Amino acid sequence: MESVEVVELGKTSILTLMLKQILDRNLQDPWKSRVMRNRVLTVRVRSRQMQTTLFFEANRVRAEDGAHGRPDIEIVGDMPVLLSISLGASPVRAVLARRMRVRPMRWKGLAYGLRLMLMMQLAGPPIHLRLLVRRGREKGESP
């Protein structure tokens, strides 16, 4: 899995291109690439009138505009939320704040939903380092 294949690249929506950017960037990380390798999963992403279907097939990811087939997971969110995720915001935080919904449509979607959220999150310092820096700031120490 090196990059996302987009069907009809010249006629794709901004949502499809944005998802391609998020996934391409995260597939460069070997750990995140390993999380979804050899998985067969269909994800539908909706934002108002736009829909994109992502197909995770063995060792490749394919993106198509519109609703195709029955999804395992459906992700629904407004464009500003999805845009902030593509710029580095945490998708887990967006789900917890109820700005984005992740609905498993099948049992497989429930099992792979967390894996997909981990893959979409951009690489950053580990959580324990972020907590240490936050505690240091609260105490008035410099990072």
pLDDT digits (tens, 9 = 90+) for 8-50: 777 788 888 888 887 887 778 777 777 767 778 888 989 888 8
CB of 36 closer than 8 Å to CB of 116: yes
- Kindly give the pairing relationship between strand 60-65 and strand 4-6: parallel
Q: Is 88 helix (H, G, I), strand (E, B) or coil?
A: coil
Token duo for residue 54: 């992502």
The strand pairing partners of 74, in sequence order, are: 44, 103
At residue 132, the pLDDT reads 56
pTM: 0.71
CATH ID of 4-139, from 3.30.930.10, 3.30.1050.10, 3.40.630.30, 3.90.650.10: 3.30.1050.10
Neighbour order of strands in the sheet with 100-104: 4-6, 60-65, 50-57, 41-47, 73-77, 100-104
Residues 98-129 as b/e (b if ≥16 CB within 10 A, e otherwise) read ebbebeeeeeebeebbeebbebbbbeeeeeee
Q: Of 45-49, 60-64, 84-88, give the lowest mean pLDDT range.
A: 84-88
